[in-house]
Amino acid sequence: MPIDLRDKGIIITGASSGIGAATAIECAKAGMHIVLNARREDKLKDIAHRIEKLGRKTTLVVGSVTDDGMTQRLLDEAERTLGGFHAVFSNAGYGLDQPAVDLDDASLRNIFEVNFFASVDLINSAARRLLEQKRQGHLLMNSSCLAKFTLPHHSAYSATKAAQNHFCRAMRLELRPDGIEVSSVHPITTTTEFFEVSQQRSGNEAFKGNVPDHAPRMFIQPPEKVAKAIVKCLRKPRPEVWTSHIVRATASFMTLFPSSFDLIMRKQAAREKAKLKVDI
- State how far the Cα of 68 lies from the Cα of 57, in Å rounded to an integer: 26
Q: For 197-218, what is the mean pLDDT? A: 52
| Closest C-alpha among 71, 206, 207 to residue 126 | 71
- Does 154 score more than 80 pLDDT? yes
Most confident by average pLDDT, 84-88, 241-245, 255-259:
84-88
| Closest C-alpha among 11, 22, 31 to residue 80 | 11
| Closest C-alpha among 156, 221, 143 to residue 182 | 143
- Does 264 score more than 80 pLDDT? no
Ramachandran quadrant class, 248 (left: phi over 0; alpha: psi -120 to 50; beta: rest): alpha
What pLDDT was estimated at residue 198?
47
13-27, 102-116, 251-265: segment of lowest average pLDDT: 251-265
- Does 270 score more than 90 pLDDT? no
Domains of the chain by start residue, with CATH: 9-251 (3.40.50.720)
What pLDDT was estimated at residue 203?
57
Q: For 202-223, what is the mean pLDDT? A: 60
Q: What percent of the chain has pLDDT over 90?
A: 72
Q: For 35-41, what is the mean pLDDT? A: 97
User: Whole-number mean pLDDT of the chain?
Assistant: 89
For residue 195, name the pLDDT band (cuts at 50, 70, 90).
very low
pTM (predicted TM-score): 0.87
For residue 133, the tally of other CB atoms under 10 A from its CB is: 11
What pLDDT was estimated at residue 173?
98
14-23, 42-51, 137-146, 215-224: segment of lowest average pLDDT: 215-224
Radius of gyration of the chain (CA): 19
